Amino acid sequence: MINKMFLLSALLSRASSLSVQPLAAQSAAAPNPTAQTWDLPHGTSVKDAGPRTYRFTVDYDTANTTGEVVHRLRVAGDYTRGLANGDVEWKNVSEVQADGAATPFPPAQKQDFIEGFRYPAGSHDTLKPDFFKSFPPAAVYERNLIWTTSMMESFGQNFFDQLKLNAPLHIFADQDVKMPDVGTFHLRDTVLEWVGRSERNGQDCAVIDYRAFFNPLEIANGSVAIHGRSDFWGAIWVSLATKQIEYATIYEEVSGEMKLPGQDTPQLLSVFRTGTLEPLSAKN
């Protein structure tokens, strides 16, 4: 299936939540808040009180030039952190496809090659050539589950000391991300912004927006070549007490040209990705 052969990013943009209270709303609800109320905790680490499992569900909608959806793909999996030795693990990863905007999905197919896939939390090895040696070459979506989860945790947990309310923080600029067996993603400007506070799963959370636009993308996966651009964004709800992610979103649009075997002329490509990462149980 053509749609299975391309990747949509390992990274980033902006989306606000209806439940977020900006500073003005907080001031009205709680008169004369102290400046300390609007500072994020500094020098703290993520508190893992045992295993915590999330469900990450991502939809890829391929559309024509007028926005008509011609193909849909959903990949989902269970991600557990807080395991022994600080490891994380993937289980119950499945993939399913359907043509058109309204055709019901058939039963999802479990991806056994990733069952029990385990590695250290925050590992810097996910972009090394041997990290996915047990994965089929075409398993781009499964790689992307791992890349995007690592991105969300990094953005949500590693920049508290630098974030200020409503002040954009530029963290990466003009950097190439080389994805082994997939291609290259060039980040023009990656921005984080702490936009307010909200409650998720009974936790007082900081809401952190992230965004990156106009990112050149070159994919060479098997016999499929893609030359295009990615724009992506999202929001992350992070517990102020534990720095655990309580909810996160990813949105991405990839547009460009795709060349298939035997084609003299590339065809236009437009794919929109939406995803949510959330705990399977608020008690986890």
Q: What total number of domains does the chain contain?
A: 1
Task: Give a yes or no: residue 197 inside a domain.
Answer: yes
Asked if 73 and 139 touch (Cβ cutoff 8 Å), the reply is no
pLDDT in tens, 16-29: 333 344 433 444 44
pLDDT in tens, 208-222: 999 999 999 998 877
Bond before 12 cis per omega within 30 degrees = yes
- CATH of residue 18: 2.30.230
Task: Give a yes or no: residue 179 inside a domain.
Answer: yes
pLDDT in tens, 222-269: 778 889 999 999 999 999 999 999 999 999 999 999 887 777 788 898
Write the burial class of residue 208 (CB in 10 Å: 0-12 exposed, 13-18 middle, 19+ buried).
Answer: buried
Task: Give a yes or no: residue 190 inside a domain.
Answer: yes
Three-point CA angle 149, 153, 158, nearest 5°: 155
Q: Which domain range does residue 243 map to?
A: 10-23+46-279
Task: Give a yes or no: residue 80 inside a domain.
Answer: yes
d(CA 180, CA 66): 33
pTM as predicted: 0.84
Task: State the alpha helices, DSSP H only, in the chain.
Answer: 23-29, 140-157
Asked if 195 and 209 touch (Cβ cutoff 8 Å), the reply is yes
DSSP string, 51-75: -EEEEEEEEEEEE-TTS-EEEEEEE
d(CA 196, CA 116): 36
